[in-house]
Chains A and B, each alone.
Chain A
Amino acid sequence: MSRRILSFGFLVAALLTAGHLFGSAPKEQHDSADGKKTKFEPGKFILDHVMDSYEWHIMTAGKTHVSIPLPVILYTKEKGLDVFFSSRFHHGHETWKGYRIAGEGEDNEGKIVLTDRKGAEGSGTVRPIDLSITKTVTAMLVSMIFILLIFLPVARKYLKNSTRAPSGLQSLLEPVILFVRDDIAKPSIGDKRYEKFMPFLLTVFFFILFNNLLGVIPIPPGGANVTGNVAITGILALATFIITTFSTDRKYWIHIFNAPGVPWWLKFPIPLMPFIELLGVFIKPLVLCIRLFANMLAGHFIALSFIVLIFIFGQLSWIAGYGSSVISITFYIFMLFLELLVCFIQAYVFTLLSAIYFGMAKEEHH
């Protein structure tokens, strides 16, 4: 049994590393073939992997980039709506219809900017209204489709045989759903009010979990850094904040502006405690956003760093490169297993804290 797990682990790791290697190794070659003779920059390499982009880069073989073109949606008052595929830019080397991708060192680096306009002081760049389906958006949409494809049939199964024991996919997901309900929602919100928040908590839990897990798989549609994107986690945290604020009662605000059990001189004449408490209202979702974002980003960073080590050593000599790869990949495998754990923990923590905030918004009257 343990041997089977071990061999499975190696297979997974091999697949995962293969994806990263294909995606990165020849990049360096390409740069040197371009004549720029750029050195391999580990920092840039890692950032390129975790940052959003207009195309989904899979691998580069020789001079050919293999990437999935993604739709670019732009709008300016003068030009109107422009929709085209990101392949028009030829990986950022060409302009198209007066748009280009801002290069290194420029304002709005890596974003689409207008070629014919400069910033306010005659320098810098100007962005059109940019609603492109980027790599992050694509991965997020794919995960949403996955979620719909998984949960809608499961729900139908529930409707079909409600009183019978779960089967198939249903029995895989039911413990997780029950976990969210019985171990997250019920204890934090209370038996009476928890049902109202269940759809949100379940959606958030599975959204984060799916995106986290997809992020660990290096081949598309996985490998994108969705939950490590501050916009995504920000919206999730904002949703928690909005729901919390809309389900508050008088007592919640009394607790904030006139916290009981606090010495009066902390409230008057300088309202120190109310100020801190009020700040806490906004800090809570902010922390929620940053925790998830930073954890997932850090996971990607560390995993990629081990890969990068191979190329750093590889630049010294090919023997060092191959030699270090053994150690690097061992650490990488270890990191991936750790990441799998983190995927679940982060989904759990985000959902749990959201549930606790909902519970705090309106204390159940005993």
Chain B
Amino acid sequence: MGLISPDYGTIFWMVLAFSVVFFILRKYAWGPIMKMLKEREQSIENALQSAEMAREEMARLKGSHEEMMHEARMEREKLMEEARRIKEQMIDRARDEASQETVKLLEQARRHIESEKLQAVSEIRDQVASLSVEIAEKILRKQLKDRKEQESLIKDQLHDLKLN
């Protein structure tokens, strides 16, 4: 049966043509195609990888940027706080100083008043003394019109002096 018995002529041409085509294709078609497919896949892989890396870098940068922002904000906060503190301190100190000054002034005023008062009192006392002396003089003058009385008085006075 011709259908299932291979013909050697066909085999001959098949072997010849198939091997020729196989070697041509291997050298000029499959070789370059497989190599280029691989290269392209590699380049796509690389591109994807570098994109991934760039994205990571971006994320990292963004993170550090945010951190920096945060730090800056913190710094500002701190500075503000510091300033506020200093301000309050200054105000406090000013207030303290002012009150101290007041106290001092008051003290001074009081002392001044005191001394004035003392002076005034002593002046009054002097005045009172001279007045009383004058009054006494006048009284004495009036009382010492008679002799007896003068003597008794001197006696009394002397008596008193002795006691003192």
Q: Which of A269-289 contact B (CB under 8 A)?
A: none
Closest A residue to B21 by CB, please name it. Answer: A144
Cα distance, A134 to B9, chains bound together (Å): 8
Q: Please tell me if A235 contacts chain B, counting CB pairs below 8 Å.
A: yes
Q: Out of B7, B14, B24, B36, which one reaches A140, CB within 8 Å?
A: B14
Q: Residues on A close to B: CB < 8 A?
A: 47, 50-52, 109-111, 130-134, 136-137, 140-141, 144, 147-148, 151-152, 154-156, 158-159, 162-163, 174, 177-178, 181, 195, 198-200, 202-203, 207, 229-232, 234-236, 239, 297
Closest B residue to A173 by CB, please name it. Answer: B33
- Mostly, the A contact residues are helix
Cα distance, A50 to B1, chains bound together (Å): 13
Q: Please tell me if B164 contacts chain A, counting CB pairs below 8 Å.
A: no
For the complex of A and B, list the 3 residue pairs with the smallest distance between their C-beta atoms, beginning with the closest: A231-B6, A199-B26, A231-B10
Q: List 18 A-B contacts (CB under 8 A).
A: A144-B17, A144-B21, A148-B24, A148-B25, A151-B25, A152-B28, A155-B29, A156-B32, A158-B37, A199-B25, A199-B26, A200-B22, A229-B6, A231-B8, A231-B11, A232-B10, A235-B14, A235-B15
- Mostly, the B contact residues are helix
A-B CB contacts (within 8 Å), total count: 115
A160 to chain B, nearest CB (A): 9
Q: A162-B40, A199-B22, A230-B4 are in contact. Are A133 and B13 (CB under 8 A)?
A: yes
Cα distance, A133 to B4, chains bound together (Å): 19
Q: Which residues does chain A contribute within 8 Å of B9, judged by CB atoms?
A: 130-132, 134, 137
Q: Please tell me if B39 contacts chain A, counting CB pairs below 8 Å.
A: yes
Contact A154 B7 (CB under 8 A): no
Contact A195 B34 (CB under 8 A): yes
Chain B contact-residue range equals: 20 to 34
Q: Out of B4, B11, B32, which one reaches A159, CB within 8 Å?
A: B32
Contact A198 B13 (CB under 8 A): no
Q: A203-B25, A203-B26 are in contact. Are A158 and B36 (CB under 8 A)?
A: yes
Q: Out of B13, B37, B43, which one reaches A178, CB within 8 Å?
A: B37
Q: Which residues does chain A contribute within 8 Å of B40, judged by CB atoms?
A: 162-163
